[in-house]
Amino acid sequence: MSLSSVGARSRDGYRAIVPESTQEWISENSALLLVLPGLFFFSLFMFFPLLFTIYLSFTDAEPATVFQDGPGGITGFFGLRGVENFVGLENYVSVLSDPAFWNSLGITWLFVAISVTLKVAFGLFLAMLVTSDRVRGKRYLRSIIIIPWALPPIFTITIWRGVFSSARFGLANQAIAVFGMAPKSWFNDRWLAFGTYLLTEMWLAYPFMVIITVSALQAVPDDLIDAAKVDGAGFVHRFLNVTVPSIKRPVMFAAILTAAASFTQFLIPYVFNRGGPGRANELIILYGYREAFTFDAYGAGAAIMMTAVVFIGIFMLAAVWKGQLAEGVN
């Protein structure tokens, strides 16, 4: 029996069993049916943690209560509830009235603003460099530039932590010793530590900015550049009036994405000095993590995380709206 005959018999059996109206509905919605399993698992892994965090933020959950056998019903059967109590907005009121929260939020936005500026400026500089006609070996230079992107972040951050070691033989201290400066205790001074965060964050993210900017620069029509040259425009005028308007949208889009990554940065302050000295440089995610897992206040930690989600969501929407990045998207 050939495979074609088996297929024909299967189709005949399908038509005999399934009503014609159902066959038509399946035929019209076949694309949706193919997507639904993937959409289900995507939603499960994306939205379940978010919904569970929202639930915890309205409770007094802590290790002694959240992992205990809770009440029956569907949530109890699946182990989703312990014996934690519903406390309404108490966690949010407590968090928003805590000066440490506003310090954490303020230092986080400062970190985002400065690090994104550095990343965009450095990425634009390198992109202009590797697309210049006067630079030889651009292909190899591009390969070298994206190396930091290929390394695990925890590896890169650990290396930078060694660079800023307070010991005299730390690379940063050896570098400033060349200028006659005394060794610094980089992680024990608030703003020195903050500077090390910024430098490391820029190092982690600049390859992404370079790739996006190089792609945008390569899409700038040569006719525009040539016309500007014919009009007598110098390099600076061509850059400001031709290049920047042409690459503005992709660079802005990349800046928004990398701003979101900076807002959720956790590893750098955690590995360097736990957001120190003290809790002065505790970025918002580290602040929420510490409340949840150091002080065992899962409810308060969840409230901090949800507040951070709201702030970053508002920022993303405002940036996309003000940057008109959604124009032309259906």
Please return the burial class of 304, using the count of CB atoms within 10 Å of its CB with bins 0-12, 13-18 and 19+. Answer: buried
Local confidence band at 270 (pLDDT 50, 70, 90 cut-offs): very high
Predicted confidence at residue 248, as pLDDT, reads 87
CA dist 324 and 318 (Å) reads: 10
Average pLDDT, rounded, for the chain: 85
The model's pLDDT over 32-44, given as tens digits with 9 standing for 90+, comes to 888 888 888 888 8
Token code pair at residue 50: 């978010």
Predicted confidence at residue 326, as pLDDT, reads 61
3-class SS of residue 59: strand
Question: Is pLDDT of 1 > 60?
Answer: no
CB 308 within 8 A of CB 101: no
Token code pair at residue 277: 């000295």
CA dist 206 and 156 (Å) reads: 13
The model's pLDDT over 304-319, given as tens digits with 9 standing for 90+, comes to 999 999 999 898 888 8
CA dist 158 and 203 (Å) reads: 13
Predicted confidence at residue 75, as pLDDT, reads 55
Predicted confidence at residue 97, as pLDDT, reads 93
Residue type, 99: P
CB 83 within 8 A of CB 68: yes
Average pLDDT over residues 204-208: 90
* Percent residues over pLDDT 70 in the chain: 91
DSSP 87: -
Local confidence band at 103 (pLDDT 50, 70, 90 cut-offs): very high
Average pLDDT over residues 120-132: 88
CB count within 10 Å of CB 275 equals 24
Pick the closest to residue 311 from 289, 290, 283 (CA basis): 283
Average pLDDT over residues 237-253: 86
CA dist 62 and 299 (Å) reads: 7
CA dist 264 and 21 (Å) reads: 50
pTM of the model: 0.82
Token code pair at residue 287: 């602040």
Predicted confidence at residue 7, as pLDDT, reads 66
The model's pLDDT over 139-167, given as tens digits with 9 standing for 90+, comes to 788 888 888 888 899 999 999 999 998 88
